[in-house]
């Protein structure tokens, strides 16, 4: 699969997720086999104001490539200025436009999926970003429409393609659905039939079987994984077996989980410092530690550890338990 001139070995993508796809999480997913990783979505206004926290969110390292930076906003000129700033200062492989976020604090200001209600505004933003991006491929992540009475993908897809966008990711729910109900994969199939650029499917991917079903059912070119990757970077390693002959994914064991937890904590501490790093790690412990005997006990101790020393001590106890569990089974 290619997006513009970017060759992608495994067409399984890590979705941009607010509060999750920071550098530590992205790099762990990349090492596990993600074909492309995306930053958290960032405000175009924040970029051109050079807001420190916003710029920190799109900082990345060479081992993450190919990587996409996702931006949102409601003004074509601001989106274009932010695109030029990103290109000049960060040089990502892909710039992605967010037309999918359903969160009211974003849509009330005209950002995210609010553009689905105004295709002329979507045209203007898309054209502005593509022109400002120069040779950097621009992609779009979008929803199917604002509500079930305004599904716009058959019209919006070709319009976006005509402006020079190199791929479209579709989450086939509407804005009003948010994350409720079932993602309608038929809409991914319809979009694929409506345009010639790559289509990346997203929504209701829970495991490796879902990835295969989405490819088979929709004929999409790639699949984007969001919540299924939380606490499970190994899903990208498993996905490799769909595309590489004779490839055997690593078996997920308690030992590999304990090792991943340690690596994740170390990365967060190095990037964000002791206090912020350990506080951010709490949600990841909740995702990693589930589905095995005594999971709730170790999860509770790690999530509630009051100091970094306590957290590391509890993690050592979990690693010992993991080693013993492997030995006994």
Per-residue confidence at 202, pLDDT binned at 50, 70, 90? Answer: very high
Reply yes or no on whether the pLDDT at 120 is more than 70.
yes
Q: Express each pLDDT in 48-102 by its tens digit.
A: 999 999 999 999 999 999 999 999 999 999 999 999 999 999 999 999 999 988 8
- Please give the average per-residue pLDDT across 241-257, as a whole number: 89
| Pair 56, 130 in one domain | yes
Let me know if residue 248 belongs to a domain. no
| Pair 101, 60 in one domain | yes
Count: domains in the chain: 2
pLDDT score, position 326: 63
| Pair 155, 295 in one domain | no
| Pair 202, 260 in one domain | no
What's 84's domain CATH number? 3.20.20.70
What's 285's domain CATH number? 1.20.120
DSSP state of 21: -
Cβ 174 vs Cβ 180: under 8 Å = no
pLDDT score, position 2: 94
Per-residue confidence at 188, pLDDT binned at 50, 70, 90? Answer: very high
| Residue range(s) defining the domain that contains residue 281 | 254-328
Query: Model's pTM, two decimal places?
Result: 0.92
| Pair 199, 60 in one domain | yes
Assign 3-class secondary structure to 66-128.
CEEEEEECCCHHHHHHHHHHHHHHCCCCEEEEEECCCCHHHHCCCCHHHHHHCHHHHHHHHHH
Annotated active-site positions, please?
Answer: 101
pLDDT score, position 179: 87
Q: Express each pLDDT in 80-90 by its tens digit.
A: 999 999 999 99
**Residue 142: φ, ψ to 5°:** -140, 165
- Please give the average per-residue pLDDT across 240-259, as a whole number: 90
Q: Express each pLDDT in 274-312 by its tens digit.
A: 999 999 999 999 999 999 999 999 999 999 999 999 999
| Pair 200, 307 in one domain | no
Structural domain ending residue among the three candidates 210, 243, 276: 243
| Pair 308, 177 in one domain | no
Structural domain ending residue among the three candidates 243, 262, 297: 243
Average pLDDT, the chain: 94
Cα separation of 120 and 263, whole Å?
A: 46
Q: Express each pLDDT in 138-160 by its tens digit.
A: 999 999 999 889 999 999 999 99
pLDDT score, position 100: 87
**How many residues would you count in the chain?**
329
| Pair 239, 259 in one domain | no
SS3 at position 173: strand
| Pair 13, 86 in one domain | yes
Reply yes or no on whether the pLDDT at 327 is more than 70.
no
| Pair 166, 271 in one domain | no
pLDDT score, position 325: 75
Structural domain ending residue among the three candidates 243, 276, 297: 243
Place of tokens 């604090």: 105
Q: How far apart are the first and last CA of the chain?
A: 40
| Pair 106, 70 in one domain | yes
Per-residue confidence at 328, pLDDT binned at 50, 70, 90? Answer: low
State both tokens at 272: 């964000």
Let me know if residue 7 belongs to a domain. yes
Let me know if residue 249 belongs to a domain. no
| Pair 199, 258 in one domain | no
Instruction: Identify each DSSP E strand in the chain by its residue range.
Output: 2-3, 6-7, 12-14, 36-38, 42-43, 67-72, 94-99, 138-145, 167-174, 199-202, 222-225
Per-residue confidence at 329, pLDDT binned at 50, 70, 90? Answer: low
């Amino acid at each position: 699969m290619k997006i513009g001139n970017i060759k992608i070995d495994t067409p399984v993508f890590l979705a941009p997720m607010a509060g999750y796809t920071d550098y530590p999480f992205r790099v762990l997913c990349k090492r596990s086999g993600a074909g492309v990783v995306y930053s958290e979505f960032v405000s175009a206004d924040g970029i051109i104001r050079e807001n420190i926290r916003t710029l920190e969110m799109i900082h990345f390292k060479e081992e993450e490539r190919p990587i996409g930076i996702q931006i949102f906003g409601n003004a074509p000129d601001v989106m274009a200025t932010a695109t030029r700033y990103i290109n000049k200062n960060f040089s990502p492989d892909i710039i992605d436009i967010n037309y999918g976020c359903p969160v009211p604090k974003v849509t009330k200001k005209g950002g995210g999926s609010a553009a689905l209600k105004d295709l002329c505004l979507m045209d203007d933003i898309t054209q502005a970003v593509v022109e400002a991006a120069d040779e950097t491929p621009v992609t779009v992540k979008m929803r199917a429409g604002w509500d079930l009475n305004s599904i716009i993908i058959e019209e919006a897809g070709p319009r976006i393609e005509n402006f020079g966008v190199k791929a479209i990711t579709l989450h086939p729910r509407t804005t009003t659905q948010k994350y409720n109900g079932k993602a309608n994969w038929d809409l991914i199939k319809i979009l694929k039939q409506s345009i010639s650029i790559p289509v990346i499917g997203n929504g209701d991917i829970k495991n490796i079987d879902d990835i295969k079903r989405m490819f088979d059912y929709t004929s999409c070119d790639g699949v984007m994984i969001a919540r299924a990757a939380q606490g499970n970077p190994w899903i990208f390693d498993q996905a490799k077996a769909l595309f590489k002959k004779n490839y055997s994914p690593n078996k997920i064991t308690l030992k590999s989980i304990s090792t991943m937890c340690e690596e994740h904590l170390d990365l967060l501490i190095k990037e964000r410092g002791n206090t912020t790093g350990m506080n951010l790690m709490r949600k990841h412990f909740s995702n990693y530690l589930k589905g095995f005997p005594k999971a709730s006990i170790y999860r509770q101790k790690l999530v509630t550890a009051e100091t970094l020393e306590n957290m590391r001590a509890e993690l050592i106890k979990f690693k010992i338990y993991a080693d013993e569990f492997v030995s006994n089974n």
